[in-house]
């Protein structure tokens, strides 16, 4: 690990259960880790760390929400410029 860390900036190291790697973390089986444009699916952590690495799909585009009618923020039904509380 020391050689790798001396050559590359390492943010986190994942390892299997019962490892002896300093500062490494054991991810939960079934976890999904995203690093840049990579997706790492953790399949197992015992006896070895098994993972599947693939290209992550692009992030979804932001969603724009527009209030319609008189139920928007600052509307007569809301009564203020803060977020409306649900009515019952």
pLDDT tens for residues 5-40? 788 787 889 999 999 998 899 999 999 999 888 999
23-82 residue pLDDT tens = 899 999 999 999 888 999 999 999 999 999 999 887 777 887 765 655 545 444 444 444
Tokens of 23: 């500062």
Tokens of 63: 């969603």
C-alpha to C-alpha distance for 28 and 19, rounded to whole angstroms:
14
The residue to which tokens 């300093």 are assigned: 22
Sign of CA dihedral 28, 6, 39, 33: positive
47 CB-near residues (< 8 Å, 6+ apart): 16, 17
pTM of the entire structure?
0.58
C-alpha to C-alpha distance for 56 and 34, rounded to whole angstroms:
7
């Amino acid at each position: 690990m020391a050689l790798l860390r001396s050559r590359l900036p390492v943010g986190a190291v994942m390892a299997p259960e019962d490892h002896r790697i300093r500062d490494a973390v054991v991810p939960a089986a079934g976890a999904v880790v995203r690093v840049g444009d990579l997706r790492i699916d953790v399949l197992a952590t015992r006896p070895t760390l098994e993972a599947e690495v693939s290209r992550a799909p692009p992030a979804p585009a932001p969603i724009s929400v527009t209030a319609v009618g008189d139920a928007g923020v600052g509307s007569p039904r809301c009564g203020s410029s803060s977020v409306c509380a649900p009515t019952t």
